A = this chain, B = another copy of it.
Amino acid sequence: MDLEDAGIGEGISEVIVTTQSASGRPNAAPIGVITLINGPQRGELRHFVKLYRGSQTLANVLETGLLAANVTSDALVFVETAFEDLSEDKFTVFARMPVLKEANAWVVFTSEVQEKRSGYLYFQIFPRAVEIRRKELRAINRGLNAVIEATILATRYGLVRDEREKEELQNQMERLAAIVETCGGRRERHALRILNEKVHQSYNLQLAPETYKK
Contacts and interface: CB of A to CB of B under 8 A. Distances in A.
Contacts of A11: 141, 143-144, 183-185, 188
A1 interface: no
A204 to B, nearest CB: 25
A139 B71 contact: yes
A116 interface: no
A37 B186 CA distance: 9
A33 to B, nearest CB: 7
Contacts of A136: 7, 135, 137
A14 to B, nearest CB: 4
B14 A139 contact: yes
A142 B6 contact: no
A132 interface: yes
A154 to B, nearest CB: 14
A73 interface: yes
B137 A104 contact: yes
A67 to B, nearest CB: 15
Contacts of A135: 135-137
Interface of A: 5-15, 32-33, 35, 37, 69, 71, 73, 78, 104-105, 132, 135-145, 148-149, 152, 172, 175, 182-188
21 contacts: A7-B137, A10-B185, A10-B186, A11-B144, A11-B183, A12-B141, A12-B183, A13-B139, A13-B141, A14-B140, A14-B141, A14-B142, A15-B139, A15-B140, A32-B183, A78-B140, A136-B137, A142-B152, A145-B145, A145-B148, A145-B149
Given A14-B140, A136-B137, A142-B149, 20 more contacts: A7-B136, A7-B138, A7-B139, A9-B185, A10-B185, A11-B141, A11-B143, A11-B183, A12-B143, A12-B183, A13-B140, A13-B141, A14-B142, A32-B183, A37-B186, A78-B140, A104-B137, A105-B137, A142-B145, A145-B149
